Amino acid sequence: MKIKEKPRDFVVEEITPDGLILEVGKEWKFEESEGKHLICVLEKVNWDTNRAVKMVSKQLHVSPKRVGFAGTKDKRAWTAQRISIWGLGQDDITKVHLKDLKLWPIKRSNERIKLGDLWGNRFTITIRELDNEEKAKLEKPREFKVPNFFGIQRFGEKRPVTHLVGKALVLGNPELAVKLYLGWVGPGEREETKEARRKVKQNWDWNEALNYFPKHLSYERTLISHLSNHTNDYVGALRKLPKNLLKMFVHGYQSYLFNRYLEERINKHGFGGLEGDVLENDVPTGPIYGYETQFPLGEEGELEKQVIKQEGVWIDQFRIKSIPEASSKGMRRGIFVTVHDYQVIEEGSDWVRIRFKLEKGTYATTVLDYIFGIKHKIPDTKNLWADDDTQGS
């Protein structure tokens, strides 16, 4: 079985709050309207959302801070989503020329698109090299529920380091956060990238690192460039990164903790309810730990406290004093997700194409993992360097 063998095998189309599906491959027309923000459909193949925004901003000669979007999409995929760009005209978009990326102006608005400004996403996924038993597993009802784990891409598919950097930030250790982000070697990275990460760990020489760190590692080079001029200013270096990337580190750690909580809950209590469950839309919820987390009473509250205590952190540490913009107050998340409008839309002798919708904050890979019984190994956070292939310090 192969998933995401080709980027176009994994199609992600954003669904707006009013239910519009932003279909890939569609030519969008501009709707005459007024407002300071130009709303565009961003269509891309095999592009990380943050990098796409950075490169689009560069070609438009504007700050990435002017660009808003509702959520990041899978990198190895064919995706469509809305973005807003403050202060530009419709014709300015003609300056953007990037391979496998298109930008369609659709209207103007006085409202910036903010994180969370979507209903969810429609996924169309081609799964290849299936045997008959695996194909049979894909026969599902139109609507069903799966445990709401965060997917592997939340942590990094080739280099699952996001949550480790996030924990270092929560622990109040910006130096460790920077060094993990620069030096932690992931199993799926290019060899030249692995070599650069191994080399920087030998002496943390920032001036030297600028000479050999690959150009495509733009965020890493941003950190190194700052440190080469301001040695030991790890907070200043981190604050050179986009705010949403800093938040993503902490969100990655929160996601790791939620997955640990949910796994513990299912292992101990199955899929039943617990005394003290907090319900949202009749669905039991679990904690996205943050500085405003309030623990429920009963079995549920005890389980939530147990998971975070085992981590050696506490909720008030999610208020990150040195980098306030990375702080997170927390929230609650349903322990199950409903898969909507599931269907097999096409199939061949050893492949199947499926389509379904998920509400925001949930992962198509979680659905596939559940269907096929896949378990991903996410690096543990007891020793933040433990799963790095060179075990640095």
Please write the tens of the pLDDT for every residue from 33-91: 999 999 999 999 999 998 999 999 999 999 999 999 999 998 899 999 999 999 999 99
- Concatenated DSSP letters for 337-353? EEEEEEEEEEE-SS-EE
147 SS3 class: strand
Instruction: Convert the pLDDT of each residue in 263-287 to its tens digit.
Output: 999 999 988 899 999 999 889 999 9
Stretch 87-102: mean pLDDT? 95
For residue 344, count other CB atoms closer than 10 A to its CB: 13
Alpha-helical segments (H) within the chain: 49-60, 132-137, 162-170, 174-183, 191-203, 206-212, 218-229, 234-238, 243-269, 298-311, 364-372
Domains of the chain: 2-120 (3.30.70.3160)
* CA–CA separation, 59 and 23 (whole Å): 25
- The phi, psi pair for 370, rounded to 5°, reads -65, -45
Confidence label for 375 from pLDDT (cuts 50, 70 and 90): confident
pLDDT tens across 109-130, in order? 999 999 999 999 999 999 999 9
* Burial zone of 216 (CB within 10 Å; 0-12 exposed, 13-18 middle, 19+ buried): exposed
Using the structure block, give the residue that is written with the tokens 């907090």. 278
Task: State the Cα–Cα distance between residues 246 and 10, nearest whole angstrom.
Answer: 27
Question: What average pLDDT is seen over the chain?
Answer: 95
Neighbours of 321 (CB within 10 A): 8
Radius of gyration of the chain (CA): 22
pLDDT at 244: 87
> Residue 102's closest CA among 168, 44, 174?
44
* Amino acid identity for residue 42 in this structure: L
Beta strand 10-15 with 78-86 is: parallel
pLDDT of residue 392: 45
- Pairing state of beta strands 352-359 and 336-347? antiparallel
Residue 306 to residue 285: CA distance in whole angstroms: 16
Report, as residue numbers or ranges, the catalytic residues: 74
* Tokens at 15, concatenated: 């669904």
Secondary structure class of 97 (helix, strand, coil): coil
Question: pLDDT tens digits, residue range 201-259?
Answer: 999 999 999 999 999 999 999 999 999 999 999 999 999 999 989 999 999 999 999 99
Report pLDDT for 393.
41
CB-based contact 342:356 (threshold 8 Å): yes
> What is the tens place of the pLDDT at every residue in 341-370?
999 999 999 999 999 999 998 889 999 999
Percentage of residues of the chain with pLDDT beyond 70: 99
- 44 within 8 A of 79, measured Cβ to Cβ: yes
Comparing CA positions, the residue from 185, 108, 130, 57 lying closest to residue 354 is 130
For residue 219, give the 3-state DSSP assignment: helix
CA 106/CA 89 separation, integer angstroms: 11
pTM confidence score: 0.82
What average pLDDT does range 163-181 have in this prediction?
98
| CB 72, CB 49: distance < 8 Å | yes
Report DSSP letters for 152-176, one per residue.
Answer: GGGT-SSS--HHHHHHHHHTT-HHH
What is the C-alpha separation between 330 and 323, in angstroms, rounded? 16
**Res 391: pLDDT:** 53
